Chains A and B, each alone.
Chain A
Amino acid sequence: MIGQGISRTDGPIKVTGRAAYSAERQDAGPTLHGYILGAGIGRGRVARIDIAAAEAAPGVRLVWTHENAPEQGPAEGIEGDMMDRTRPELASDRINYYGMPIAFVVAESFEEARAAAGLIAVEYELEPGAFTLSGFGPDLNWRRPSQAGDIDQAMREGPVTLEETYSTPYHFSQPMELHACIADWRDGHLHLYLTAQMVNQLTTGLGKTLRLDPGAISIDSAYVGGGFGSKIVLHCEAVLASLATMALGQPVKLMLTRRQIFTLVGHRPASISRVRLAATPDGRLTALGHDALIQVRTDDAWDEGVSSVGKALYASPNRLTRQAHQALDVQPGEPVRGPGELPGLMVLESAMDELAEKLGMDPIELRLRNDTQIDPDKRLPLSGRRLADCLREGAEQFGWRDRPTRPASRRDGRWLVGYGVASSMRGHYQTSAEVLVRIEPDGFVIVRSDMTDIGTGTYTIVAQVVAEALGVPMSQIKVELAHTKHPKGNGAGGSWGAANTTVAADRAAAELRARIAVVAGTGYNDIFAEVRRHFPDGIEEIGKTLDNKDDPNYRTHAQYTYGASFAEVGVDIDTGEVRLRRMLGVFAAGRILNAKTARSQLIGGMIWGVSAALQEAGVLDPRHGHWVNGDFAEYLIPTHADIPAIDAIMLEDFDDKANHLGVKGIGELGAGGTGGSVANAVYNATGVRVRDFPITLAKLLPGLP
């Protein structure tokens, strides 16, 4: 059962429109509707705000600003867990970023709330803001350094060296389901129907903000329309809808608009990287340096680990990776799929391609020559290090031997054709999680976990694992997820959800088998008959996983997942238009739980890599600090027409250091270095190296042959 490409169990209700996502839930009955008014400046304060006309508008039930919003827990500093912080809204007249909520309207209908918000008159006191990531300054406070040997000396000695600067733009997760919440305050308990990747993790910060015991908060996220990191931390829709239902005693629905999701939900920070590489003439790295400058806010330093990928990807005796911050007046950064490694690998794997050309080497051979079985940073054996297998298998399947060895040397009609390759790597993390498995005498198994299914296939893979563990058909397993009342895991994020949840579920099932065996032996045919006989009220167990820091295997082995991606692009000789022609990814990510859903998730991640290389960039107005292209018409994400057939191959794998099921994660791995493979293919096609992502027509055109 484990590993089979079984179709999603939630498929039938999703393809027929029956799955109810947060704002579609009818549990609370008819709701009032909220609408947020966001600040029209990037930094300053609200000097005067007049809500009289809005309050008098039809259907309006309340209008809040910083002058009359309910008291909330005060904002906390950046120390401590990002997940547990308060998030007070409308708490002062300060405006820290463009679009920050300055007023909130609740009305009987969405149309009335939106219209009333437009009647609010605001006068601002504008302050100059910092909106441009300017580059490495003289006084850098380096963070997260990982060092070995002397990189400066190695760069002086060479003999073959590369030193280049690369930049990556702001990215946004932008899942298709709008961030939304229905809040229902009922009998002293707050019920939230919220679109979230983690549910129990949100109750601490929300409780502190609302001055409510976390035990009085329930969050239900049964179906989530994508997340990609943006539905991890607490946002204003949950806070404002909760405050309003508590004030009015009626359920309140608040959906952010698509444009608001570009300002009220975090982004992947922009970065500037300086990469230094040195190698012997036969391609052995003697220096690997990656300095990254990351955009942050001073009061919320989400530190995108752009430089971290260089710590363990390749061996080099002299190595230095580190990053510095520049604070700008934009909203706090947040996890976006492939945090750190998506931009970091796109940069480092571009640099490796440049080095290969300087060396006159096949880029795959350069990577193989610097492979390592020991984590250069942690100095521990790498478990499941199969980067070389991914590169070799991919080269064979993709037909790498047919690549144009000289840049700009192949034409197909009006298209310049090029091939590119890049490595992928992603840390494997485990957190403490609990899952309950219960065998009912009536012939059903119930699995309960607060883990979410954000499109990741959780409902399906959990049923597969428990079906195999108990020897029961999947049709007799009911998986109940994504509610704070269920045993606590760590939700969907960081690519840990599948392993956490299935390992804990499998352990619960093993405990159940052991208990049944004590009274029934092991030779029974019908587990439900034994349960009816010996446990007439049913039988249940909770299985657990340990956090990384408590698991001995994490002290003896460095755990990652690996991949290699191969891209063929065509570049229009006249316009510079880049078209992806075909793409292959090969991955070693531990045991695969479901061949169908895993392949889909990897391909989806790869398309994120394609998009990062060629399309996606949040453009911040350097004068006013607003997102110039904050909607789906202007912030370009791939469409059907952009994407040809893409394949992902998963190597037969099993990482016994990860857990007893051999499972790791795949949510971020597909994105990994895929952008680098596209960038390298564009160079191979044109001979033009673009180091300022994304690679758009305007950047290619001046250099086209």
Chain B
Amino acid sequence: MTATPRLPVTLSVNGETRTLTLDPRVTLLDALREHLLLTGTKKGCDQGQCGACTVLVNGRRINSCLSLAVMHEGDEISTIEGLGTPEALHPMQAAFIEHDGFQCGYCTPGQILSSLSVIEEIRAGVPSHVTGDLEAPIPLSDAEIRERMSGNLCRCAAYPNIMAAIRDYLGEGA
């Protein structure tokens, strides 16, 4: 039996440098969950269809299940563990609790990371399927937010409450 070949990779995870030696088939998702024990990033489908594994790579959200860890040499990875703590919640996390934007909580880290990214994407003028005027500033409308959040499935169907949380967060002057 030959041993599985492994490759070194260095990531910056939530601002901390982490060096791993990995089977090149390990996804970024499994590198976080199984090798760094950062299990806040969830495995919901492992095939890019549910958004539970959403993380930020160099500031942009991706499905970490669709990306191999060794492709991310030197990348800055942000996960839910880097956002807030139970004692010092990020305002979006607090809004999710206040508006009951989750039930089982499994899709929640992905929903929270996506919701923050969605706001930045709209403000940066990145168009979506529902954007009408590509020349004008994009409104932070419910339709724009819902469209951009639709890659994050929630089987408990907390969608109306997630929208209420995002609206509340925006009202707080994010």
Binding site for B on A (CB under 8 A): 7-8, 10-21, 23-24, 26, 56-60, 109-112, 115, 173-178, 223-228, 255, 257-259, 454-457, 596-597, 599-601, 603-605, 607-608, 611, 631-633, 637-646
Contact = CB atoms under 8 A, between A and B. Distances in A.
B47 A14 contact: no
A176 B51 CA distance: 10
A227 B106 CA distance: 11
A13 B103 contact: no
Contacts of A7: 97-98, 100
Nearest to B154: A176
Contact of B146 (A457, A601, A640): A640
Given A18-B81, A111-B30, A112-B23, 20 more contacts: A10-B105, A15-B89, A16-B80, A16-B86, A17-B80, A17-B81, A58-B2, A60-B1, A110-B34, A115-B25, A176-B52, A177-B44, A224-B104, A227-B104, A456-B103, A596-B100, A600-B156, A637-B153, A637-B155, A644-B160
B60 interface: no
B61 interface: no
Contacts of B84: 15-16
Nearest to A608: B157
A607 B157 contact: yes
A256 to B, nearest CB: 10
Contact of A225 (B34, B105, B153): B105
A609 to B, nearest CB: 10
Contact of B97 (A15, A110, A255, A454): A15
Given A176-B106, A178-B44, A109 B79 contact: no
Contacts of A605: 157
Interface in B110-129: 112
Contacts of A8: 97, 100
Nearest to A17: B40
A111 B105 contact: no
A632 B49 contact: yes
Nearest to B84: A16
Nearest to B151: A639
Nearest to A453: B104
Given A111-B26, A455-B104, A643 B41 contact: no
A21 B52 CA distance: 13
Interface in B148-174: 149-163
Contacts of B86: 12-13, 16, 18
B127 to A, nearest CB: 15
Nearest to A56: B1
Contact of A59 (B4, B85, B153): B4
Contact of B160 (A225, A457, A603, A633): A603
A258 B45 contact: yes
A454 to B, nearest CB: 6
A177 B106 contact: yes
Interface string B21-36: 0010110001001100
B27 to A, nearest CB: 9
**A-B residue pairs, 3 tightest by C-beta:** A17-B40, A225-B106, A455-B104
Given A57-B1, A176-B104, A258 B49 contact: yes
A639 B81 contact: no
Contacts of A111: 4, 23, 25-26, 30
A668 to B, nearest CB: 14
Max chain B C-beta neighbours (<10 A), residue from A17, A19, A173: A17
A14 B98 CA distance: 13
A604 B41 contact: no
A24 B39 contact: yes
Contact of B105 (A14, A631, A642): A14
B107 A258 contact: no
Contacts of A175: 104, 106, 155
13 contacts: A12-B89, A17-B40, A17-B79, A24-B39, A110-B34, A111-B4, A175-B104, A176-B153, A178-B44, A223-B105, A258-B45, A600-B100, A640-B152
